[in-house]
Amino acid sequence: MKGRKILMIPGPVEFTPEVLQAMGLPTTSHLAPNFMDVFGQALERLREVFIAPSGQPFIIAGSGTLAMEMAAANLVEPGDRVLVVNTGLFGDRFVAILERHGAEVTQVTAPVGDVPSLEQVDAALQKGPFKLMTVTHVDTSTGVITDIRNLAHLGRKYDTLVVVDGVCSVAGEELRQDEWGIDLTLTASQKALGVPPGLAIVVAGPRAMEVFRRRKTPVRSFYADWTNWLPIMEAYEARQPAYFGTPPVNLIWALNVSLEQILAEGLDNRFARHRRISAAFKAGVTAIGLQLVPVSLEKAAHTLTTIYYPEGIDARLLPLISEAGAIVASGRHPVIKERYFRVGHMGAVTGADVLVTVGAIEWALARSGYRFDVGAGVAAAERVLAE
Residues of this chain that interact with ligand PMP (CB under 6 A) are 11, 63-65, 68, 90, 136, 139-140, 165, 167-168, 188
Secondary structure letter of residue 299 according to DSSP: G
Tell me whether residue 63 or residue 261 sits nearer to ligand PMP (CB atom). Answer: 63
Give just the sign of the alpha carbon dihedral 228, 231, 237, 241.
negative
Q: Minimal distance in Å, beta carbon 36 to ligand PMP?
A: 26
Phi, psi for residue 203 in degrees, rounded to 5: -120, 115
Tell me whether residue 274 or residue 384 sits nearer to ligand PMP (CB atom). Answer: 274
Q: Minimal distance in Å, beta carbon 90 to ligand PMP?
A: 4
Q: Minimal distance in Å, beta carbon 168 to ligand PMP?
A: 4
Q: Minimal distance in Å, beta carbon 198 to ligand PMP?
A: 9
Tell me whether residue 97 or residue 292 sits nearer to ligand PMP (CB atom). Answer: 97
Instruction: Please tell me the distance from the alpha carbon of residue 364 to that of residue 387, in angstroms, as a whole number.
Output: 27
Tell me whether residue 63 or residue 250 sits nearer to ligand PMP (CB atom). Answer: 63
Phi-psi region of 80 (alpha: psi -120 to 50; beta: other; left: phi over 0): beta
Tell me whether residue 12 or residue 377 sits nearer to ligand PMP (CB atom). Answer: 12
Tell me whether residue 63 or residue 109 sits nearer to ligand PMP (CB atom). Answer: 63
Instruction: Check if the beta carbon of residue 307 is closer than 8 Å to that of residue 341.
Output: yes
Residue 61 CB coordination number (10 Å): 16
Residues making up the chain, counted from first to last: 387
Residue of minimal CB distance from ligand PMP?
64
SS3 344: strand
Q: How far is CA 303 from the centre of its chain?
A: 8
Beta strands 138-139 and 132-136 are unpaired
Instruction: Please tell me the distance from the alpha carbon of residue 201 to that of residue 183, in angstroms, as a whole number.
Output: 14
Question: Side chain identity at 79, as an amino acid letter?
Answer: G
Q: Minimal distance in Å, beta carbon 101 to ligand PMP?
A: 16
Q: Minimal distance in Å, beta carbon 28 to ligand PMP?
A: 25
